[in-house]
């Protein structure tokens, strides 16, 4: 199952528009994967907040945020990830991040929050964390 969302907030004339694309997949039963592409910052973070809430409301047995195609992670994005972790914990849903790029790992490490998350370098590794191979 896939659904997509492109988010382009309104901006002032001539200003660059931030873009965030979210694709939600269920590659194995009960484990939802939200693929996050683009920039996660103050303008785009609310779209991810909404999507995480929708997915957790469905009662998955696991949630993976695939950040492998994220080009920028701002402080608001980090805050959203921490909130997602807390919401998943309250819902008793394991949350795992997929990221290997410096653009994502560096801000998580520099702010000292990388240790709050289970982080996998590849989606297949995150899926194995849920005791199911992606093949």
CATH code, domain with 36: 3.30.750.24
| Within-domain flag for 12 | no
Q: Does 87 fall in a domain?
A: yes
Residue 7 or residue 27, greater confidence: 27
Q: What is the C-alpha separation between 3 and 74, in angstroms, rounded?
A: 25
Asked whether residue 28 is assigned to any structural domain, the reply reads yes
Using CA atoms in the order 62, 65, 66, 69, what is the torsion angle rounded to 10 degrees?
170
User: What is the C-alpha to C-alpha distance for residues 103 and 75, in angstroms, rounded to an integer?
Assistant: 12
Number of separate domains in the chain: 1
pLDDT tens profile 57-101: 999 999 999 999 999 999 999 999 999 999 999 999 999 999 999
pLDDT recorded at residue 5:
61
Distance, CA of 49 to CA of 52 (rounded, Å): 5
Q: Is residue 23 part of a domain?
A: yes
pLDDT of residue 134: 39
pLDDT average, residue stretch 46-56: 97
Phi-psi region of 25 (alpha: psi -120 to 50; beta: other; left: phi over 0): beta
Residue 42 lies in a domain: yes
Position 130 confidence tier, pLDDT thresholds 50, 70, 90:
confident
Q: What's the average model confidence in pLDDT over 6-31?
A: 75
Residue 13 domain-assigned?
no
pTM of the model: 0.88
Confirm whether 4 is domain-assigned.
no
Domain span at 80: 18-129
Map residue 89 onto helix, strand or coil: helix
Question: N- to C-terminal Cα distance for the chain?
Answer: 16
Residue 8 lies in a domain: no
């Amino acid at each position: 199952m896939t659904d997509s969302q492109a988010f382009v907030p309104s901006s002032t004339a001539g200003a660059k528009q931030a873009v965030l694309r979210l694709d939600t997949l269920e590659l194995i039963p009960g484990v939802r994967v939200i693929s996050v592409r683009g920039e996660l910052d103050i303008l785009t973070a609310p779209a991810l907040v909404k999507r995480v809430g929708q997915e957790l409301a469905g009662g998955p047995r696991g949630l993976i945020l695939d950040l492998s195609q994220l080009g920028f992670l701002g402080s608001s994005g980090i805050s959203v990830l921490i909130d997602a972790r807390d919401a998943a914990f309250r819902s008793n849903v394991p949350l795992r991040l997929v990221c290997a790029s410096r653009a994502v790992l560096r801000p998580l490490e520099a702010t000292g929050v990388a240790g709050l998350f289970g982080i996998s370098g590849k989606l297949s590794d995150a899926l194995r964390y849920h005791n199911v191979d992606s093949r």
